[in-house]
């Protein structure tokens, strides 16, 4: 079970509950995968509802890797994600928000 107070999000992939977390290492890998775009740009796209499926996939992969998963984005191409694309987008948005939430905001 994920702990939202530490930035974790749970997502069912192929019927298995996975814990996602954006650690510093996962954020660095995420930023590298953005091809010149920054994390601020990514946050702005999510805030504006202008994110792409590539953004969602990159966040899910980074969160999984931060949670200890050793796979890659190719492993998710045919995966069944609970809630489909909208479920994945919702989890990605939660993951991003929780990663940059201040501790006092989490408690309130």
- Look up the pTM and report it: 0.88
Residue 107 forms part of a structural domain:
no
Count CA atoms closer than 13 A to 105's CA, side-chain side.
Answer: 7
Does 67 fall in a domain?
A: yes
Taking the C-alpha atoms of residue 8 and residue 22, their distance in angstroms, rounded to an integer, is 8
- Structurally, the chain folds into a number of domains equal to 1
Does residue 32 form part of some domain?
A: yes
Range of the domain at 79: 4-100
Residues 24-57 pLDDT 10s: 999 999 999 888 889 999 999 999 999 999 999 9
Is residue 47 in a domain? yes
| pLDDT tens for each residue of 74-100 | 999 999 999 999 999 999 999 999 988
State residue 105's pLDDT score. Answer: 62
The mean pLDDT of 67-76, rounded to a whole number, is 92
pLDDT at 1 over 90: no
Alpha carbon distance 90, 59 (integer Å): 11
Q: Is residue 105 part of a domain?
A: no
């Amino acid at each position: 079970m994920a702990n939202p107070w530490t930035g974790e999000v749970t997502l069912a992939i192929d019927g298995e509950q996975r814990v996602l977390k954006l650690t510093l290492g996962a954020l660095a890998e995420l930023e590298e995968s953005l091809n010149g775009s920054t994390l601020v740009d990514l946050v702005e796209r999510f805030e504006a509802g202008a994110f792409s499926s590539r953004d969602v996939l990159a966040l899910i992969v980074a969160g999984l890797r931060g949670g200890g998963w050793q796979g890659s984005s190719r492993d998710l191409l045919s995966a069944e994600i609970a809630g489909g694309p909208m479920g994945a987008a919702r989890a990605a948005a939660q993951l991003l928000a929780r990663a940059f939430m201040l501790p006092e905001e989490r408690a309130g």
